[in-house]
């Protein structure tokens, strides 16, 4: 069951559209031409990557410590 949970979370995250954004960003992008809205979407994804990677690192650290403590 523990091995299934990360896979389910990853699959749920991949099923979201890449152009998901807040309402203010959506309206700004909608008012601009196609090229600028694409760049805005890319910027939103780039700014979202570091918090996701930090969280993933923390979760990996916790699982590693849990496994290490379970063996002792």
pLDDT tens-place values along the chain, 72 residues long: 556 566 655 555 554 554 555 777 677 777 778 788 788 778 888 988 999 999 999 999 999 998 888 776
| Confidence (pLDDT) at 71 | 72
| Confidence (pLDDT) at 58 | 95
Query: In sequence order, what DSSP letters do the residues of the chain get, joined into one string?
Result: -TTHHHHHHHHHHHTS-TT---HHHHHHHHHS-HHHHHHHHHHHHHHHHHHHHHHHHHHHHHHHHHHHHHH-
Q: Name which of 56, 18, 68 is nearest 40 in CA terms.
A: 18
| Confidence (pLDDT) at 56 | 95
Residues in the chain: 72
pTM above 0.75, yes or no: no
What is the extent of the structural domain holding 12?
Answer: 4-71
Structurally, the chain folds into a number of domains equal to 1
């Amino acid at each position: 069951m523990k091995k299934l949970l990360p896979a389910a979370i990853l699959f749920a995250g991949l099923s979201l559209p890449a152009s998901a954004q807040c309402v203010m960003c959506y309206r700004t992008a909608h008012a601009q031409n196609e090229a600028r809205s694409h760049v805005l979407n890319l910027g939103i994804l780039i700014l979202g990557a570091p918090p996701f990677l930090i969280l993933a690192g923390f979760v990996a650290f916790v699982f590693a410590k849990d496994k290490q403590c379970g063996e002792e």
